[in-house]
Amino acid sequence: MTRDEAGSGASDKAGTICRALRRAIIERALEPGATLPEDALGERFGVSRTLARHALGQLAAEGLVELRRNRTAVVATPSWQEARDTFDIRIELEGLVVRQLAGRLSKTQLATLRAHVDAEDTVRGESDAVSIRLATEFHILLAEMTESPILIRYVSELAYRCCLILSLYSRPHSSECGVNEHRLLIDALESGDAAKVISLMHRHLDSVAERALVAQAKPRGRDIMAILAPYAETSQSAGKPRGKRALKAAE
């Protein structure tokens, strides 16, 4: 790591790379099995390979990236059993979230949730990638409203992991999170009926899991530099691309 990357600046840059890669995975621009070369990431984000490796390590801790021998990193490919287990754990964890929130949300918080679902409704049927991201962020927003660092951390990681799983196993054009189901969850939270909202969350996430198929989509084999371009460009703290090297995403 270079001197200018030391300290908080390095942490900020690593965070930028993590957010960009995480979003690319959530929006299915990067598919399971796609390679993530350190030199390509460093070139795209204007950082050293060491810092790119650090960011990949953070994503590996979240279960989104697999670090293999000879320092090869790829987007994770969960097995079917791992996929089912992940959803089962998420269902129980998010049950804890809504149990804590039932009848305790302020008018401002309820308005924030409804505004978020309105945004989901706006893009429904238009942009699958944005719809997936917004649906995931709804669940993370609920976790954040508990103000519990543990719940926020683990719900976020599991929600991102589920996005990866759905990109691998889901039926074509399936809706990963129903807008109407989100509205019902908000209404139940407002009413304070903890048993009802826990049941709704359980059915909601279970139906998401049941819409998945045990069939892997064929990798598209796109150029990773092209894939990450819009994600790097929208990250304010990431440097501009400094080269034109093209590296192919592996199957």
Residues 102 and 186 in one domain: yes
Average pLDDT over residues 181-209: 94
Does residue 247 sit within a domain? Answer: no
Residues 191 and 102 in one domain: yes
Residues 70 and 158 in one domain: no
Does residue 242 sit within a domain? Answer: no
pLDDT tens digits, residue range 75-104? 999 888 888 899 999 999 999 999 999 999
Q: Can you give the pLDDT at residue 225?
A: 67
Residues 149 and 224 in one domain: no
Give the total number of structural domains in the chain: 2
Range 126-133 contact pairs with CB under 8 angstroms and sequence separation of 24 or more: 128/28, 128/173, 129/27, 129/28, 129/29, 130/27, 131/175, 131/176, 132/26, 132/27, 132/28, 132/163, 132/166, 132/176, 132/177, 133/23, 133/26, 133/27
Which DSSP helix (H) or strand (E) runs through 145? Answer: helix 128-145
Residue 141: both structure tokens together: 């927003």
Residues 25 and 113 in one domain: no
Does residue 32 sit within a domain? Answer: yes
Residues 112 and 40 in one domain: no
- Report the distance separating Cα 76 and Cα 144, nearest Å: 26
Per-residue pLDDT at 7 exceeds 60: no
Does residue 248 sit within a domain? Answer: no
Q: What is the CATH number of the domain that holds 161?
A: 1.20.120.530
Range of the domain at 54: 3-77+218-233
Residues 27 and 135 in one domain: no
Residues 102 and 198 in one domain: yes
Stronger pLDDT, 95 or 233, i.e. the higher one: 95
Q: What is the CATH number of the domain that holds 71?
A: 1.10.10.10
Does residue 185 sit within a domain? Answer: yes
pLDDT tens digits, residue range 127-158? 677 888 889 999 999 999 999 999 999 999 99
Residues 115 and 177 in one domain: yes
- 102 contact partners, CB below 8 Å, separation of at least 6: 188, 189, 191, 192, 193, 194, 197
Residues 32 and 127 in one domain: no
Per-residue pLDDT at 238 exceeds 80: no
